[in-house]
A and B are shown apart, each in its own frame.
Chain A
Amino acid sequence: MSDVYIMGVDMIKFGRFPEKTVPQLGAQAALMALDDAGLTIQDMQALYCGNLGQANGMVGQRILQEIGQTGIGVVNCANACATGATAFREAWMSIKAGVFDVVLAVGVEQMGKGLLGGGGGGAGISKEGLLGSGTMPSVFAEAGMEHARNHGTTFEQFAKVSVKNHHHSTMNPKAMYQIETPLETVMNAEMISYPNTKLMCSVNVDGSAAAVLVSEKKAKELGMGRAVKVRASVLTSDPFSDRDLVMPDVNAVTRQAVKQAYEMAGVGPEDINLVELHDCFATAEILHYENLGLCADGEAGRLIDNGDVALGGRIPVNVSGGLLSKGHPLGATGIANIYEVSTHLRGEADKRQVQGARFGMTHVIGLGSACAIHILERAA
């Protein structure tokens, strides 16, 4: 089986673009990734498109209507917040299978503002605020409080995640926000669902990201100079756990995925130089330090306290600013993470560059649940 390489990858600056359509946003990133690879839409053999909000709207085909209707096959993916990573992985598999040599993956989303989840649905009466809360800030607050229960993690430690990621985003011109948020600002922001304040919730933004994936044969032809090798691509669903029915278990699904990813890549957590993980809420990031093996169970609080996960630390996490400050356009997030890690592996991350980065990891969770993990390596 051929190794798979990323030859082009890019994202638009995340923001709010109500005047654009979803396909227009997707087309922007697609063209940027093609330019980055030095290729055109005529070179692409298939398109894998991730979008959640218009999952039945043939978004991939409509992107081609914006940039070139070449007649290639299009797969439209929806997998909650793992949507973009799933599209990328489908593209990866098509090359791995030897079907294609050059394919395009695009993730795109246009978001409203406000709370996600908790809408209920079904017959009868609304259950929100009656049978607890199903909003995303609440669900991830409860997951964080489980960590507090087991390891004594504090509100302040959760808040420090947000301080760090907002700080990182001041060095990322493509992030939605470039604003420092000191600890007291984070902790005193409007409480949404304790222990998550407003500044500990990811930002709903519009965005798109895209990648051109190629076979080894094609990569050699094009030149390995800026290529990024995909060392592992893994997708899992949530295994049964006792409380999963009422408390989505984002831990087991991640642990299963990362175990497979390390095996596939033949590396361990000690080899990884940077991680972009699913900080949809500050509480979630803490859980994933342990889930991804960046530290032992129970050590996550210390990791954030020591600065180990900040730029310049032992294992920088979310140097892009993360979902908390770069923003979280659901279907685009998975590929935007891959853009971020690739940019560091190429040594092109400017002020936020993780020096000497060779291996990087991306992680997303789609509640319901899906986990996608990619391990990338500098090729040259």
Chain B
Amino acid sequence: MAESSGPLPVVGWLKGAASDDPYLEGQRCQSCQAVFLGERENCSKCGARGKLKAFRMSNQGKLYSYCIVHRSFPGVEVPYVSAIVDLDGGGTVKGNLINVDPKPEAISFDMPVEVVFKDALGRKDRDGNSYISYFFQPAA
């Protein structure tokens, strides 16, 4: 399968963008268990060198914090929910919380959410490439 013909990942730590099994990849320090997003040499929690190991992050998590964005830059559709999610098994990720009414009364802390992968709202880079992004939605 020619990967280059498919959509690109929105961030480097979204793996398998062109496959039917995309996932988010974390890097866990084997010395102190701190979790990072994206490849790196050293751990900034304990300073260990070369101890980071990639792992597949869970698609399940809980809403830690959020805000509801009403004013953004031209071309960004508002309102939407900007969410901070703690994934089960480690790793905190920020993204849009979709399929929820963007109102405080519809959102609760610690609500279970799941990670879903979809086209990046139709956004393309200057070479015309399309992208796969991740989103959160209330868990089924």
User: Interface on A for B, CB 8 Å cutoff?
Assistant: 115, 118, 123-133, 135, 137-138, 141-146, 149, 155, 190-196, 240, 242-243, 245-247
Q: Is the CB of B96 within 8 A of A149?
A: no
Contact indicator B65/A133 (Cβ below 8 Å): no
Q: Which residue of A lies closest to B43 (CB)?
A: A240
A67 CB to nearest chain B CB (Å): 39
| A-B contacts, 22 listed (Cβ < 8 Å) | A115-B72, A123-B125, A124-B10, A125-B120, A125-B125, A127-B11, A128-B72, A129-B72, A129-B76, A130-B120, A132-B82, A132-B94, A133-B67, A137-B71, A138-B67, A138-B69, A142-B84, A149-B65, A194-B69, A194-B70, A243-B92, A246-B93
In the complex with contacts A131-B11, A240-B34, A195-B67 CB distance below 8 A:
yes
Contact A115 B96 (CB under 8 A): no
CB-based contact A132/B44 at 8 Å: no
In the complex, besides A124-B125, A137-B71, 9 extra interface pairs with C-beta distance below 8 angstroms are A115-B73, A127-B11, A129-B73, A130-B133, A135-B69, A145-B67, A240-B34, A242-B34, A247-B94
How many A-B residue pairs have C-beta atoms within 8 angstroms? Tell me: 126
Shortest beta-carbon distance from A256 to chain B in Å: 15
Residues of B within 8 Å of A190, CB to CB, are 70-71
Note all chain A residues with C-beta closer than 8 A to B34: 240, 242
Given A129-B96, A245-B36, A247-B94, A194:B68 Cβ within 8 A: yes
> Judging by beta carbons under 8 Å apart, are B72 and A118 in contact?
yes
Q: Main SS of the interface on chain A? A: loop
In the complex, are the beta carbons of A129 and B69 less than 8 A apart? yes
Of all A-B residue pairs in the complex, the 8 with the closest CB atoms, nearest first, are: A141-B67, A132-B82, A129-B76, A194-B68, A246-B94, A133-B82, A240-B45, A191-B70
B37 & A129 in contact (Cβ 8 Å cutoff):
no
Let me know if A128 and B121 touch, CB within 8 A.
no
Nearest CB in chain B to that of A122: its residue:
B11
Contact B109 A133 (CB under 8 A): no
A137 to B70 Cα, complex, angstroms? 10
Choose among B10, B77, B78 the residue that contacts A125 (Cβ–Cβ < 8 A).
Answer: B10
Interface residue count for B (Cβ, 8 Å)? 42
CB neighbours (8 Å) of B92 from chain A are 242-243, 245-247
| Bound Cα distance from A284 to B63, whole angstroms | 21
Question: Cβ of A125 and Cβ of B123 under 8 Å apart?
Answer: yes
B66 at the interface (CB under 8 A from A): yes
Secondary structure at chain B's binding surface: helix, strand, loop or mixed? strand
A242 vs B46: C-alpha distance when bound (angstroms): 12
> A192 contacts which of B44, B45, B71, B94 (Cβ < 8 Å)?
B71
- Give the A-binding residues of B (Cβ under 8 A): 8, 10-11, 34-37, 44-45, 64-73, 76-78, 80, 82-84, 86, 92-96, 104, 109, 120-121, 123-125, 131, 133-134
How far, in Å, is A379 (CB) from chain B's closest CB?
41
CB neighbours (8 Å) of A128 from chain B are 72-73, 76
Docked-complex contact A132 and B83, CB < 8 angstroms: yes
Q: Are A138 and B123 in contact (CB under 8 A)?
A: no
By a CB distance below 8 angstroms, the chain A residues around B125 are 123-125
Interface pair A245/B69, CB less than 8 Å apart: no
Inter-chain contacts of A247 with B (CB < 8 A): 64-65, 84, 92, 94
From known contacts A243-B84, A243-B92, infer whether A142 and B67 are also in contact, taking CB-CB under 8 Å: yes
- Give Cα A118 to B80, complex, Å: 15
**Can you name the residue of chain B whose Cβ is closest to the Cβ of A193?**
B67
Q: Are B133 and A193 in contact (CB under 8 A)?
A: no
Tell whether A131 pairs with B10 under 8 Å between CB atoms, given A149-B64, A149-B109.
yes
Residue of B with least CB distance to A239: B45
Chain B residues, Cβ within 8 Å of A141: 67-68
Do residues A118 and B37 form an inter-chain contact, with CB atoms below 8 A? no
Is there an interface contact between A193 and B44, defined as CB atoms closer than 8 Å? no
Question: Would B96 and A132 count as touching, CB distance under 8 A?
Answer: yes
B37 touches A245 (CB 8 A): yes
B123 and A126 within 8 A (CB): yes
CB-defined contacts of A191 to chain B, threshold 8 Å: 68, 70-71
